[in-house]
Amino acid sequence: AAHARTAPLTCLLNTSRLAGEMSTISSRLWASSLPMATRSLHHPFLLRLASGTLARTAFQGYVAQDAFFLRAFARAYALVLGRCESDEAISELSSLIGGVVDELRLHRHYAAEWSVDIVDVEPNSATSAYTDFLMAIARSDASVAVVLAAMTPCMRLYAYLGQRLHASFPNEGGKGENPYSDWLSTYSSPEFEALAAKVEALLDKSAEGVPFELMRAPYLRAMQLELDFFAAQHGGEVVPPIGGLLASGERVLAVVDFDETATVAQTLPLIAELAITTAGSAQDARRSEWQALSAAFLENYGAATERTFSEAAQMEGGLPARLDKLVEVMSTFESSAVVAVEASGVLRGVPETELARAGSEHTEFREGFGRFARALCTAGACEQVEVVSVNWAAQLVRAALARELGEGERVCVHSNEMPMQIEGGLAVTTGGLRSEEGMHTAADKGKTFSALAAEHPATRSLYAGDSLTDIKPLLQADLGVVFGKSSSLRRALDVLGVRMLPMAAARLSSISGMPWAVGGALGAPNRGEPATVYSADSWLEVHASLLGDPDAHTGGEVTARAEFVLADIPTNFAGENARLPVGRTEGIPVVLSIAGSDSGGGAGIQADLKTCSALGVFGTTALAGLTAQNTCGVHAIEGVSPSFLRAQLDAILSDFAVGAVKTGMLPSTEVIEVVADALRHSGIKHLVVDPVMIAASGATLVSDDAMNALCSKLAPLATLLTPNLPEAEKMLNWPRDSIQTVERMQKAAIELHKLGCANVLVKGGHLGEHAAAIDVLYDGRTCETLHALRIDTSNSHGTGCTLSTAIASYLARGLSMREAVLAGKTYLTSALAASAPFRLGNGAHGPINHGFRTHSWQIPDSAQAADARRDSIRKALALYAVTDASLSASRGGVVNAALEALAGGVTCLQLRDKGPATRLLDDALRILPAARARGVPLIINDRVDIMMASDADGVHVGQDDMPAKAVRALIGPHKILGVSVSDNIEDALRALADGADYVGVGAIFASTTKPDKTATGIQFLVKMRSAVGSEFPIVAIGGIGPETAAACIFAGADGVALVSTIFATDKVRETSASLRASIEKALREGKTSK
């Protein structure tokens, strides 16, 4: 059913699907790297190889380099084999080594046929980088799973490339004319697919208990090295680039479906959930209505599709007539389904504002869609992208697209507008769907596309869709593009005699000079051609096929967006009247804690207020109960009258714009009912429910009746429910200590979600046998296991209160749910680590230091030393120069340029060189004495081994390199560790928690040295600084020049990283001196204004 989609109602088939149906580790890793795989697929080297137009010398060079790589690959397999214990694994790895030997046999055939020496091969820089990476990780003490994660991409990527490129040439005759057809046949073969599947199976078996991110990092690194490998295979000649199907200045009508084409997933569940949660006391009845509609739809769907395909197949006439019959029959069924929903009134009462919020905050777009849409407009190919959707709520669609593409720009929405009526001053849905005149069926989409095409008669057209509802415009358009794996759509295409080729086939047509056919699949028979649509794995493929290299169409757009962000920063940003740079526009974020008092100060509202203060939000409280407790236990509990609690709540909610509410200990049924009643109609955006039932000492804090009331009345209102393992067991009436594994945590999260809450975080702090602190986050669709460093300490009193309040604080500051949870875990982990060596009280569970960022419990000398180290690093980051071998080549080389920069006053120097390791080590050893003499730290980019061999001062790694935690373990506590985090707050918080001394953020502006990086803009620095706090140093990276460096400092950066600004000039020393002066001035002004 997941692939048999027509109109949005089909999603009813999937709303009850358990997210526990997890995909394999290998498939998750592959999915995370698919954009990189499609980038390789569309590289000119591979497209020209597949078309037979690759230069002979380029292929000869490739064969030699690949033979060198394969020998190293076999040695890496052998090293893994030596660490395997089971006979089965040894047998499987032996067969994989045999597969590599077979590949080498093919290369020996190439060597004989193409006169290639594959024995004495001098590896180029890309081959060296890849083989060095594989051998280093295979010889390390990393787990077998991590090593296999680094090796699997080679196998899976080649199988993917071979199959896609082979399928792009459906005519056997043309294939035989390709001098490289043996290559296509080998890697598209079932035998090679079996080898790829075998190594993935080994990875899946060995991955149990290994954190996903530890495997993802080497997997993505290997994928990048594969792309670098292809880019380096040119045989001394430039491989000619391949343009897109659109000629320069040519216009296109770009029409796109919304759900699961532009977006990752259907958005109907968002509408369904809103319809249920806004039903108030009738939620159970509303949910039952949905289930009844789902059952009726499921019962009729199979028969309807069978009837559709049967009547279309039996229809006499050509493709247009049979298509019309198919659309007619299917649309009749779709209409009846929509009428049934409309008649039920199940969608009534949903606030229009909530529809828009769901679209803007909870809709995830496919990677590259926004970039493609903007690139089309930037290139002048169209004024706007037309979005045609049978989604029930255009309000949701518009809000989502406005967030992705910008308000009122680049997009026009053609979708069903949900009718509204006014109730209580709010616009809410009537329950109607405009079934007569709305857009709900395949026929409706076909009519809309026809009307748009009529408005653009001389313009070529593109339509992208994913389901049977899209079939008519897919065949009407000059270029029909299919996303996803819909089985019903594929069957319909088969019935109609329409073939589907990979997107690469469309782009390959530009090599052979074939014109972009006018009339698309419907007009193909008239042209004597097979009717064809194309399947795309990512929007990058569509981008590359139409416009050519995606990176060639973003420069103007990125620059324009950066200038807009700069202009949008208020002039008094750093002044005394400036508002905090948070997600709320009305001012300081406010959190309300409804909880009990802990007289010992370690938990309850005392811990909540400390957490709020530490995280930069204003904390308010409503006292729900009193406890007489200390570190030894709870000695007495005193309730608060429901009337007095209601008075507290009314006082806070009537005066403050509360951004998030956190509830803790609620000791009685009456108290819980008061809280639920007050919050139900308060309009609070976020409610974090911490079901405090059992103290850390083991004492029970609430009655069974109160627990039942919390489950039935408060949990359904929660944005997030955060039970620990004992609390989850109690809420589910499971036996004590029955949750002892991650799998049981996942099951508990899924079961607790059925209480009606939006998200569940099951906290695994009691899962003591694990080396990591493991939590499970479930959003109703997927379970995600979150890992953090487990701190060995008995100071755990109040950790649950602290975490839930930290999450509420980050939600109030504008972070997404996942970002807030990760940030909250990072804060708690850091607080536990800062408090671990010390004890307060005589009990088994001591409190933590919530204010560790501003004051330490450590011995004064140790604290001063830590502060001094951090301050010295922060100061060193001010003018951070990054070398570039290509820029310095004509100016005396990297060493000479670095010495000039040091003489000019740079405060930190990063040596970056992707060339041979021997050259990098030699340069480091020559630069280091001069850097040490000036007190300037020398940082090595990426290469931990070079840093350790040269004894440089630190290393800087990216997200695709070795994980920060592993690097810190290798280099020790005293070397400097920097991590690039691009535009991801989660990555920054994780890196700092894992031992990074600073993070590099950007590209802030469009960069010539890394043109593939999308600019984040100055405003993102503000957001990053807000997220990490003032304690941790930040370096701004990317496209920064003398005129923008100060703006970066004022936005929160401690320094700026510069490449071409320094090293592209003939006056490196003078430029460095001038920059040093201006940056120091900006730092002084920023500090004074703050």
Residue 504's pLDDT is 87
596: three-class secondary structure by DSSP: strand
Residue 612 contacts residue 582 (beta carbons within 8 Å): no
Residue 792: the pLDDT is 66
3-state class percentages of the chain: helix first, strand second, coil last, to nearest 5:
55, 15, 35
Q: Which residues pair with 940 in a beta bridge?
A: 911, 955
**Phi, psi values for residue 680, rounded to 5°:** -60, -40
Q: Which residues of the chain have pLDDT under 50?
A: 1-22, 172-175, 552-586, 771, 859-861, 1089-1090
pLDDT of residue 409: 62
One-character DSSP codes across 482-535: E-S--HHHHHHHHHHT-EEEEHHHHHHHHHTT----TTHHHHHHHHTS--EEEE
Burial category of 407 from C-beta neighbours within 10 Å (exposed 0-12, middle 13-18, buried 19 and up): exposed
In whole angstroms, what is the distance from residue 1070 CA to residue 901 CA? 8
Q: pTM of the full predicted structure?
A: 0.52
Q: Output the pLDDT for position 868.
A: 61
Give the model's pLDDT for residue 697: 54
pLDDT of residue 108: 79
Interacting residues of 176 by C-beta distance below 8 A, sequence separation 6+: none
Nearest CA-CA partner of 442 in 535, 333, 522? 333
Q: Do residues 188 and 41 touch, judged by C-beta distance below 8 A?
A: no
Q: Do strands 460-465 and 420-423 pair parallel, antiparallel, or not at all (unpaired)? A: unpaired
Give the list of residues 6+ apart from residue 82 with CB closer than 8 angstroms, or none: none
Q: How far apart are CA 896 and CA 898, in angstroms?
A: 5
Q: Mind telling me the catalytic residues? A: 912, 980, 1010
Gap between the Cα atoms of 632 and 600, Å rounded:
10
Rounded distance, CA 875 to CA 936, Å? 10
Question: Which residue, 731, 715, 719, 630, is CA-closest to 675?
Answer: 715
Residue 894 tokens read as 């990297």
pLDDT digits (tens, 9 = 90+) for 1-40: 222 333 344 443 333 333 333 479 999 999 888 888 988 8
